[in-house]
């Protein structure tokens, strides 16, 4: 069975698609959950580096305030790059191990992968699924989810570049601008094609 990379811009709906595929029986790699586990583990490299570089997001009990950390990186690209340099190498190492363990298994494995093409990680997967939505829909979702102003959201979303190029490089494309039922139908189509490959989906 194939290993599948799920990618796309923030607010596109990747997590929803990942959860729908999980309900269908896929083994999934949830990046957010993995990152949060490192945040909670005070012995982890990620926690120790964040505490050192972003001391303002650490509570008196030593916990990482995720909302505060988001505010710091959303408002400053330099700070965002610092966080990426801490988190991404650890996640990529963990992800490579997950992919290696998936080989030869009679199950579809799906991973949500940020910076898939930028880090050339697409070569590790059998298939790539790109999930996106119209710009105004993404803007609204990001503002609501993270409590950002319109300028903040636009600034952060500008980091998501080359959408058209990434669509061309993907095996399947899901445009998530409609209802949940519409998205479920597209995931159904995707699932059938992953089980029995036919053609590029949409």
CB distance 13 to 131 below 8 Å: yes
Write down the pTM of the prediction.
0.83
Q: Is residue 201 part of a domain?
A: no
Concatenated DSSP letters for 56-87? GGB-TTS-B-HHHHHHHHHT-HHHHHHHHHHH
The whole-angstrom separation of Cα 95 and Cα 113 is 9
Q: Is residue 46 part of a domain?
A: yes
Q: Is residue 9 part of a domain?
A: yes
Q: What is the pLDDT of residues 101-142, one digit of tens each?
A: 888 788 899 999 878 898 888 999 999 999 999 888 888 988
**CATH no. for residue 160?**
3.40.50.300
Q: What is the extent of the structural domain holding 154? A: 3-195
Q: What is the pLDDT of residues 44-85, one digit of tens each?
A: 999 999 999 999 999 999 999 998 998 898 778 899 999 999
From residue 78, alpha-carbon distances to 67, 82, 116, 160 in Å are 18, 6, 21, 16
**Number of domains the chain is built from:** 1
Pairing of strands 27-29, 3-7: unpaired
Q: Is residue 121 part of a domain?
A: yes
Residue 34 above 70 pLDDT?
yes
Spatial strand order of the sheet with 109-112 comes to: 27-29, 109-112, 3-7, 127-132, 172-175
Helix (H/G/I), strand (E/B), else coil: 131: strand
Tokens read off for 140: 């609204």
Long-range (24+ apart) CB contacts under 8 A made by 166-169 are 166/7, 166/8, 166/117, 166/130, 167/130, 167/132, 169/117, 169/122, 169/128
Inter-axis angle of helices 77-102 and 45-53, nearest 10: 180
Q: Is residue 65 part of a domain?
A: yes
Residue 159 above 60 pLDDT?
no
CB distance 142 to 98 below 8 Å: no
More reliable by pLDDT, 198 or 40: 40
Q: Is residue 80 part of a domain?
A: yes
Q: Dihedrals φ, ψ of 111, to 5°?
A: -125, 135
Q: Is residue 202 part of a domain?
A: no
């Amino acid at each position: 069975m194939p290993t599948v990379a799920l990618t796309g811009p923030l607010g596109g709906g990747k997590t929803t698609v990942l959860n729908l595929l999980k309900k269908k029986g896929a083994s999934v790699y949830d990046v957010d959950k993995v990152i949060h586990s490192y945040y909670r583990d005070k012995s982890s490299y990620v926690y120790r580096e964040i505490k050192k570089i972003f001391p303002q997001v650490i509570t008196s009990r030593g916990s990482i305030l995720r909302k505060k950390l988001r505010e710091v990186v959303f408002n400053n690209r330099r700070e965002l790059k610092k966080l990426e340099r801490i988190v991404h190498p650890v996640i990529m190492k963990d992800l490579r191990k997950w992919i290696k363990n998936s080989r030869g298994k009679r199950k579809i494995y799906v991973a949500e992968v940020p910076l898939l093409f930028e880090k050339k990680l697409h070569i590790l997967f059998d298939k790539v699924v790109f999930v996106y939505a119209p710009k105004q829909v993404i803007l609204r979702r990001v503002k609501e989810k993270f409590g950002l102003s319109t300028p903040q959201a636009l600034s952060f979303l500008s980091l998501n570049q080359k959408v058209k190029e990434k669509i061309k490089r993907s095996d399947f494309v899901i445009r998530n601008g409609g209802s949940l039922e519409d998205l479920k139908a597209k995931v159904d189509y995707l699932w059938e094609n992953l089980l029995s490959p036919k053609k590029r989906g949409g």
